[in-house]
Amino acid sequence: MDDLSKKKYDFLLYLLEEGDAMVCLDARLPEVDVPASHKDNSSLNLIFNLNFKRPVEITEEGIFATLAFNGRPHQCVIPFGAVWAIYDPKMKNGQVWEESIPADMNLADQVMVAPPQKPPLKAVKPGSKPSADPKTEGKRDRSHLRVIK
């Protein structure tokens, strides 16, 4: 095992001791075995956990596991040479190996886009009621609960 694969192996085992581990890999490499629908993906992300129903085998060569894709099991083979990042999806703690990132992949495409901003809240003077929305003004509350005296 080369030094780089050893680092990936050790880091993956470290994260799996705590829970989930997200593995980012280049599925286009010929030694990677994933479903054909994912085979052209240079940034395939797979989650692993040692508590999966089906066994996950991690050796110094790579990851061997039966994973479900669209509800169908597939025996995956993921050599560490194809892995370019591993991280904890909950804590965002991870490691990227730049030398393993596919040359044709643009990392800027992988950055998560911030969700659209909500409109700002309107200020309300203390002791006053907020103005009614013009669309609902004059309409009765038709909730399913009523006050009965």
Residue 120 CA to residue 106 CA, distance in Å, equals: 34
Domain 3-98 has CATH 2.40.160.20: no
The whole-number average pLDDT for the span 115-132 is 53
Count CB atoms within 10 A of the CB of residue 47: 11
Whether residue 28 is predicted with pLDDT greater than 80 in this model: the reply is: yes
Using a 10 angstrom Cβ sphere, with 0-12 exposed, 13-18 middle and 19 or more buried, the burial of residue 80 is: buried
Closest CA to 105 of 6, 24, 32: 24
* Confidence at residue 125, expressed as pLDDT on a 0 to 100 scale: 54
Strand partners for 21: 48
Q: Is the pTM of this model over 0.75?
A: no
* Confidence at residue 132, expressed as pLDDT on a 0 to 100 scale: 55
Phi-psi region of 7 (alpha: psi -120 to 50; beta: other; left: phi over 0): alpha
Q: Out of 52-56, 87-91, 143-147, which region has the weakest mean confidence (pLDDT)?
A: 143-147
Most confident of 45-49, 100-104, 115-119, 123-127: 45-49
Domain ranges of the chain: 3-98
Contacts of residue 24, Cβ cutoff 8 Å, sequence gap at least 6: 43, 44, 45, 83, 84, 85, 86, 87
* Confidence at residue 54, expressed as pLDDT on a 0 to 100 scale: 86
Q: Give residue-wise pLDDT tens across range 81-121.
A: 999 999 998 877 898 989 888 888 765 554 444 445 555 55
Looking at per-residue confidence, does 53 or 121 come out higher? 53
Whether residue 37 is predicted with pLDDT greater than 80 in this model: the reply is: yes
